[in-house]
Amino acid sequence: MEHLPDNFLFRRLLSLAETRQGARIHDLAYRLDIPYSQLLQDVCYSRRELRQTLPPSLFTKQGIIHDDDVYVCTTMPASYEMTVAFFAILSIGAAMIPLSPDLMPEELADFNSRFNAKCIVLHSGDTELAQTIRKYAQDKGSSVLNLLPVRLCPANNTTNQHPCIGPCITIPSECPVIALFSSGTTGPPKGIIHALNYFTAHAGPFGPEDSLVLCHRPMHYGASLTSAITSILRGIRLGIMRPTATPKQIWGRIRQGGVTNLAGSAGFWVSLMEFFQQQLAELPSKELQSYIDGARGLRVTNCSGVMAMPSTKIFWKEITGRPLHIVWGSTESSIGLKTSSDIDTAYMNSIGRPVPGVTIKLSKGTHGEMRVKTPTMFLRYWDNESATRVAFDDEGFYKTGDLVYLQGNDYIIQGRASTDSSETFSFH
């Protein structure tokens, strides 16, 4: 038997494989269509590959890494294999450092060294990248980097073991599971360490079986990866497009129907709006209607980053029949607020109301710097205790740096008190 850790993440993954037969991951870039039952098999197979690659001294007799702060880097495009790597790395008790697939070899080597990462996991198709990294290490005379392409379970594999939860295999809830990075607007990016709650606190119950989240952003971003993992944990179908997908390609997928959840930056929503107005609006009415019908199937439309302009909000309300929701969050705190459907925020800079489990206070009562407590708050900054201390006030609230005032039940954003901020983002 393949014994997985006894925590929410793997209990839910096992339950999904057994009960959600229709739930699948559609990797549109690599032409894969994978049921969640196969995801579980691929995770277990990749898990065994990780154990065989890493030094045996790292593991307990149960096959779990016995120390905190053991990291594994990943550098791969948004893909099904990225989700496999995530679950496999966490299943051995390590923490993931998702890095951009566009980094130079010297940058990858620097991150690997800085975190003393035990290996770098690559996409199975990135043979050229692997050769480039190895050549760089050899040219620099440094130790050979430990590289591991994702390996999926072969169809003819005869050694498959039935996964189950190992009641005695536990990983502390405060153990690091991922390192993300701040924007670094006013200085070097800070490593932001999160525990498992970052992915599980907002997972909630199983979602509707006919839901489909369309992922179109790079998965080394915390918001995009969290959205993908949360969708899986809710048993929702996940469609993955290349992050380079154009407005034409995204509209083409919307036109096919079935997409129910879509999120992106304000710029993303503007680009889709402009493509509609400049290209699609000129189509014959019958053909145009197929795009509108696809958009009308969207149940969740979330906007992040900078505030969307009124014209953008109004356009999407007219097209979908639903408001474009503004969602506030940060890499440190994760999601914090979301606009409500019961108030028209088209002409307001509203960031909405706290989502369940989130507490908000303003430094001057009804206005001032917004400070938050969330169930998804980061553990600490990497190797920077002083920065971690000053990030919180005396009551343990994270200081966001955003200037906000309260209007009724809604929080209205005015600007920034400071500029060294992590991205604001939204969940699908």
Q: Among the three residues 176, 208, 227, which one is the final residue of a domain in this structure?
A: 176
Q: Residue 420: what pLDDT?
A: 42
Q: Name the 3-class secondary structure at 40.
A: helix
- Per-residue model confidence (pLDDT) at position 398: 98
Q: What is the mean pLDDT of residues 81-101?
A: 98
pLDDT band of residue 406 (cuts 50, 70, 90) is very high
341 domain residue, yes or no: yes
Q: Which two tokens stand for residue 112?
A: 């690997």
Q: Over the stretch 358-377, which tens digit does the pLDDT of each residue have?
A: 999 999 999 999 999 999 99
For residues 241 and 161, membership in a common domain is answered with: no
Q: Which one has a higher pLDDT value, 2 or 193?
A: 193
| More confident position, 112 or 291 | 291
Same domain as 86, residue 126 = yes
Residues 124 and 228 in one domain: no
Q: What is the pLDDT of residues 170-186, one digit of tens each?
A: 999 899 999 999 866 55
Q: Is residue 25 part of a domain?
A: no
Q: How many domains does the chain have?
A: 2
Position 207 in a domain: yes
pLDDT per position as a tens digit, 125-141: 988 888 888 888 888 77
- Residue 14 domain-assigned (yes or no): no
If you write DSSP's letter for every residue of 333-375 in order, what string do you get?
Answer: TEEEEE--TTS--TTS-EEEEEPTT-EEEETTBSEEEEEEE-T
**268 and 370 share one domain:** yes
Same domain for 140 and 254, yes or no, is no
pLDDT mean over 109-114 = 89
Q: Mind giving me the DSSP string for 280-334? A: GGGS-HHHHHHHHHHHHT--EEEEESSPPPHHHHHHHHHHHSS--EEEEEETTTE
Q: Which domain holds residue 363?
A: 200-416
Do 132 and 214 have their domain in common? no
pLDDT at site 425: 40
Tell me, yes or no, whether 234 and 339 share the same domain. yes
Q: What pLDDT, on the 0 to 100 scale, is given for residue 427?
A: 39
pTM of the predicted model as reported, rounded to 2 decimal places: 0.94
Instruction: Give the domain CATH number at 71.
Output: 3.40.50.980
Q: Kindly report the average pLDDT of the chain as a whole number.
A: 92
The band of 160, judged by pLDDT with boundaries at 50, 70 and 90, is: low
Residue 31 forms part of a structural domain: no
Domain assignment present for 75: yes
With vertex at residue 319, the alpha carbon angle to CA 226 and CA 293, rounded to the nearest 5 degrees, is 85
Residue 62 within a domain: yes
Give residue-wise pLDDT tens across range 219-252.
999 999 999 999 999 999 999 999 999 999 999 9
| CB-based contacts of 251-257 (< 8 A; 24+ apart in sequence) | 251/275, 251/276, 251/280, 251/291, 253/28, 253/214, 254/214, 254/291, 254/294, 254/295, 254/297, 254/298, 255/290, 255/291, 255/294, 256/294, 257/293, 257/294, 257/297
Is residue 63 located within the same domain as residue 169?
yes
Boundary-marking domain end, from 135, 160, 176: 176
Looking at residue 13, what is its pLDDT?
A: 95
Across 186-214, average pLDDT: 91
Residue 285 has pLDDT above 50, yes or no: yes
Q: Does the pLDDT value for residue 428 go beyond 70? A: no
Instruction: Please count the CA atoms within 13 angstroms of the CA of 192 that sit on its side-chain side.
Output: 22
Does 26 map to a domain?
A: no
Same domain, 151 and 222: no
Are residues 170 and 213 both part of a single domain? no
pLDDT band at 21 (very low <50, low <70, confident <90, very high): confident
Please indicate, yes or no, whether residues 255 and 211 belong to a single structural domain of this protein. Answer: yes
pLDDT at residue 38, rounded to an integer: 94
Q: What is the CATH number of the domain that holds 385?
A: 3.40.50.12780
Query: Do both 256 and 166 map to the same domain?
Result: no
**pLDDT, position 426:** 41
